[in-house]
Structures are given as C-alpha cells and as structure tokens.
Amino acid sequence: MSEKGKVIVKALVTGGSASGGPPIGPTVGPTGINIKDVVDEINEQTMVFKGLTVPVRIECDPETKQFEIFIETPSTASLLLKEAGVEKGSSACSDEKIGNLTLDQILAVVDAKKDIFLENTYKAAVKSVLGTALSIGLTVEGEDPKIIQKGINNGEYDEKVKGEL
C-alpha cells in the first residue's frame, strides 16, 4: 500500500523478535531503507510484548529514507494468557479453568491497552478485561471474574479502579 509516495507495510510480528524476512524485508528492502534499522526499532518497541503476536505498521518514505513504526496492542485475551503463563484459553470456560490471576495482573492488562479502550472510565475497562478473563477460563483472586465485577459495582475495589482512562 502507498499513500503520497509512502510505502506502508502491515505485519504481525512476535514481540521483541521481528526479523528481516517476509513480510518486512521484501517490502521495505526496495525502498532503500536499512532493514536492520527498521527491525531493531520494531524489536525495541515490542519488547514489552515479548513472545506475543503484535500488529505493526511501518510507514516508509523512499525519497527521504525515513520510516515510522506504529505498534498496535495485542488482543486482551493474548495479554491475559501471557499473564497466566498459558498458551490458549479453555474450550469449556465455565467448567475448565486454565489459571488464576491477581487483580493487579488484570490492572496491568488494562494499563497495556488503555489507549484503545472504548470505555471512558478505568472501572469500565477493568470490568471489560474481567469479562475476557471469564471467557477464556481464568479466575481472578481465586474467584469467578463475575464476582470481582460485582465487587467493583459495589465499590469494594474503588481504591484500585478509579479515574478516567
């Protein structure tokens, strides 16, 4: 894809482990931009998502040999699975639990995704992430995530989940 002479490359990379192979190398190479510089920048920016699949967009300007990297956040489910140290969610989430997270781990996922939530409040975003935890078979603080959501509704966690996103 290109816009006003720019070459735009969209790719899925493993956080912290991008390489000069396809799709990055073959698309960026013809622009004359140093592929190693692009890959190094991607790896630096995605290190926080090490081991996860991360969507990236690279905007290359063949004329100036400049590039810009835009990192998108992995899915909420991917971040939760990483926190739990498991590779995939439960196929029977109501009966088969795959792990337990702390509320602080839930808050870490909210913080990692805070720029893209549709919700306005931190509380609503936390409840959304708890819903995803429920759907992939995780418990939170040893409880069904619905119980934690009710506690949030009742103000039990106001100290941790207040404010705007």
Residues 80 and 148 in one domain: yes
Task: Read off the pLDDT of each residue in 55-73 and give the average, rounded to a whole number.
Answer: 93
In a domain, 159, yes or no: no
Are residues 95 and 140 both part of a single domain? yes
Q: In the predicted model, what is the mean pLDDT of residues 58-66?
A: 94
Ranges of beta strands (E only) in the chain are 2-3, 6-14, 53-61, 66-71, 99-101, 138-140
Q: What is the pTM of this model?
A: 0.74
Task: Please indicate, yes or no, whether residues 115 and 136 belong to a single structural domain of this protein.
Answer: yes
Which residues lie closer than 8 Å to 20 by C-beta, 6 or more apart?
35, 36, 39
Do 37 and 60 share a domain, yes or no? yes
60 lies in some domain: yes
Average confidence (pLDDT) over 35-45: 95
Indicate whether 32 pLDDT > 90.
yes
Distance CA 57, CA 114 (A): 19
Choose one of 48, 71, 94: the last residue of a domain. Answer: 71
Q: What is the pLDDT of residues 10-25, one digit of tens each?
A: 999 999 999 999 989 9
> What pLDDT was estimated at residue 116?
82
Residue 134 lies inside a defined structural domain of this protein: yes
In a domain, 39, yes or no: yes
pLDDT of res. 3: 56
Number of domains in the chain: 2
